[in-house]
Amino acid sequence: MKKYYNKFKDLESNDKENQKKSFKSLEEVLVFTSQGNILVKDLDGSIINLDGPHNAYRLCSNNGDLYYIDGEQEVIFKMFSDKKIEHKFYTIEALLSYRNKLCYSVFDSLYEYPKTLKKTIEENHGISSLFEHNNSLFALVTNWNDEDENFEDSYLLDLYSDKKYHMGKDVTKTKSHNGNLYSIYRKNNHRIDSRMHGILVEREGFISDLHTHNGNMYDFGEYAEVFNSFTDEVILRYNAVIDSICFHPREDFVERGILKPNKKSTIITMKHSVPKVKSYVKGTYQDDLSV
């Protein structure tokens, strides 16, 4: 594994104290999907499997509720209620909490819950990433009808101003962190590239996606770990590919009897070993754009 992150030290968030206070007050836990399962890593490092069937491949926490995409049915579900938020015939690719609203993309269209069509982009193009950047909502748009599958005309679209920024070929995922853009490429999907600063880090397997939260950026994928992309700290080790992650208020799981009340507020800690996975059944344990 090659590490480039030391040269990016100045690009990390300088608001560490506020991040810690935020973690303590919200007391969030890591939720992730692997092989269709939804799992929770508690503050003590234990992992609990929220028994399905879920067939989940995307997660999102929004306004205290947890949402996931069922990859077989192409349905967005509200967790614990089995309420169907949206059902589409095309793949629901991106899911994002943006200014307390749930946003998602279906092929060439952007939607906002509940079922509000916000924008349709050009024909034969699709939205593969949604993210906030410079106080606006952006989409990574790719040509999904390209015969050589090189995504030659990938570009970023400011969904407020409709301004486009060319990204070149093969970009599959993009996220924003501290005003800088970081991308994953189809042919070099084991590394994270910065538009302005070059390679951030290389991993030992393909990277599924990036996730930004509370001033940090995380990567995860085939290597069955979740890394803080800048510090290289491992916040989760598992035994299978990790497809998506989010952070969700721990109290929600406590109120549902999934997690036990925690008397002492604790910041999420790193676990190096792969913990035994428990099952949960009915409340019991079993870049900048200056271009």
Question: pLDDT tens, 17-53?
Answer: 444 434 344 799 999 999 999 999 999 999 999 987 6
Report the pLDDT value the prediction gives residue 116, as an integer from 0 to 100.
77
* Radius of gyration (C-alpha) of the chain in whole angstroms: 18
CA gap 200, 7 in Å, rounded: 8
What separation, in Å, do the N-terminal and C-terminal C-alpha atoms of the chain show? 31
223 in helix, strand or coil? coil
Query: Among 58-72, 78-92, 235-249, 270-284, whose mean pLDDT is lowest?
Result: 270-284
Residues of the chain with pLDDT > 70, as a percent, come to 76
What counts of helices (H) and strands (E) characterise the chain? 2, 26
* Domains observed in the chain: 5-281 (2.120.10.80)
pLDDT at 66: 95
Phi then psi for residue 267, to 5 deg, are -80, 145
Task: Please check the confidence at residue 207 and state whether its pLDDT lies above 50.
Answer: yes
pLDDT at 152: 58
Residues 208-221 as b/e (b if ≥16 CB within 10 A, e otherwise) read bbbbbeeebbbbbb
As given in the structure block, the two tokens for residue 271 are: 């676990």
**15 CB neighbour count, 10 Å cutoff:** 13
Contact 132, 98 (CB under 8 A): yes
Percentage of residues in the chain having pLDDT higher than 90: 53
What is the pLDDT confidence band of residue 89, given thresholds at 50, 70 and 90? low
pTM of the model: 0.81
